[in-house]
Amino acid sequence: MSARIEARLRAAAARGGAIVPFVVLGDPDLTTSDRLLRALCEGGADCLELGLPFSDPPADGPVIQAADVRALDAGTRVDDCFTLLRAHAERSDVPVSLLVYWNLVLQRGVDRFYADCAAAGVDAVLVADLPLEHSGEAVAAARTHGVAPVFLATPVSSDARIRALSERAAGYLYVTARVGVTGDRADEGGADPQLTAEIARLRGLSDLPLLCGFGISGPESVRRVLDAGADGAIVGSAVVRRVAEHAGDAEAAAAAVRAFVASLVAAARDR
Q: Which of 136, 129, 46, 41 is nearest to 92 (CA)?
A: 41
Q: Cis link prior to 21 (omega < 30° from 0)?
A: no
Find the catalytic residue in 29, 34, 49, 116. Answer: 49
Q: Is 42 a catalytic residue?
A: no
Region at 216 (left for phi over 0; alpha for psi -120 to 50; beta for the rest)? beta
Other beta carbons within 10 Å of 18: 27
Find the catalytic residue in 60, 123, 198, 231. Answer: 60
User: What is the Cα Rg of the chain in Å?
Assistant: 17
Determine contact, residues 188/220, Cβ cutoff 8 Å. yes
Judged by DSSP in three states, 257 sits in helix
Other beta carbons within 10 Å of 15: 11
Other beta carbons within 10 Å of 56: 10
Q: Is 60 a catalytic residue?
A: yes
Q: Which of 146, 145, 174 is nearest to 233 (CA)?
A: 174
Cβ-based neighbours of 61, under 8 Å, separated by 6 or more: 180, 181, 182, 183, 237
Other beta carbons within 10 Å of 229: 17
Q: Which residues are catalytic?
A: 49, 60
